[in-house]
């Protein structure tokens, strides 16, 4: 089965489009778990155990592990090993380098750390992405239009009357021969998300920026899936991980995920009742 096919299978099994970003910010982790590697591991594994049947992916951001040094990489390996085999792992490193170097990144992420997907930067072109695609059963989400304010510095620039992000979307749709490419599009750009969805074909879209960053969950779901006709993953992190600083944080995290799934599935039912394809 293709990498995209695996994502779709998990979404259908768990009835969820949610991806939890495992961004371990020690300033936000409950105090009793924040000061040691074991504490961070225990915190994260409790989040995973509480939510694994309610999500379609987990997305560790490598920066939060890199700052911990060698112990951080060991922690990342242990956390990835804790995630159930049927749940895809997206390692968020936004890789982008010449082909030879990219090949080493691909080996490290897919073979050493056990990722199913990675995030990559398209600025250096296809040869910087190709090494990741040579792993036919793995996938790469390509930055297209990011959720941060600085996205306007380059991504909105027009070249021959079309913004750069649209060229990225079109190229990725063209390159996606093995159903192992995706796009990253921020929920903070709902109108542009609609435009990108139209040209992306069957390419799945990973959508960060819901919640704390100000993006609308409802708009992200409807625009990112074209009313549930295409695949999207809604990334949530801080609103779930740090929903509570008390000892019941895992139960509160689960309740938050259930609430978000309820909103999404309510939109799906509402669309079907109003005649929207699902």
Residue in 237, 225, 205 with CA at minimum distance from that of residue 276: 225
Beta bridge partners of 142: 120, 183
Among residues 82, 94, 171, 251, the one annotated as catalytic is 94
CA 169 remoteness from chain centre: 17
C-alpha count within 13 angstroms, C-beta hemisphere, residue 14: 24
- How many whole angstroms separate alpha carbon 187 and alpha carbon 150? 14
Please give the C-alpha separations between residue 264 and each of 13, 39, 47, 210, 261, in angstroms, as whole numbers: 15, 32, 21, 13, 5
Concerning whether 94 is annotated as a catalytic residue, the answer is yes
- How many whole angstroms separate alpha carbon 235 and alpha carbon 211? 10
Would you please indicate which residues are annotated as catalytic (active-site) residues?
94
């Amino acid at each position: 089965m293709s990498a995209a096919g695996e994502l779709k299978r998990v979404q259908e099994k768990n009835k969820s489009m949610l991806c939890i970003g495992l961004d371990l910010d020690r300033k936000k982790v409950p105090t009793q778990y924040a000061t040691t590697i074991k504490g961070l591991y225990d915190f994260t594994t409790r989040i995973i155990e509480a939510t694994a049947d309610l999500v379609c992916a987990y997305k560790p951001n490598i920066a939060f592990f890199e700052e911990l040094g060698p112990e951080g990489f060991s922690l990342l390996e242990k956390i990835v090993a804790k995630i159930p085999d049927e749940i895809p792992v997206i390692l968020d490193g936004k890789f982008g380098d010449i082909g030879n170097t990219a090949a080493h990144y691909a080996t490290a992420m897919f073979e050493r750390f056990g990722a199913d997907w990675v995030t990559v930067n398209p600025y250096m072109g296809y040869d910087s992405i190709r090494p990741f695609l040579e792993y036919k059963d793995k996938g790469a989400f390509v930055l297209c239009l990011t959720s941060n304010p600085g996205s306007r510095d380059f991504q909105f620039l027009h070249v021959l009357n079309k913004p750069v992000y649209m060229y990225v979307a079109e190229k990725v749709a063209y390159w996606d021969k093995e159903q192992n490419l995706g796009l990253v599009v921020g929920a903070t750009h709902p109108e542009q998300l609609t435009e990108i969805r139209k040209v992306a074909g069957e390419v799945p879209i990973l959508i960060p920026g819901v919640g704390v960053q100000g993006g609308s969950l409802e708009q992200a779901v409807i625009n990112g899936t074209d009313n549930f006709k295409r695949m999207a993953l809604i990334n949530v992190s801080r609103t779930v991980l740090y929903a509570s600083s008390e000892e019941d944080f895992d139960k509160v995290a689960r309740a938050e995920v259930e609430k978000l799934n309820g909103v999404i599935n309510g939109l799906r039912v509402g669309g079907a009742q109003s005649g929207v394809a699902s």
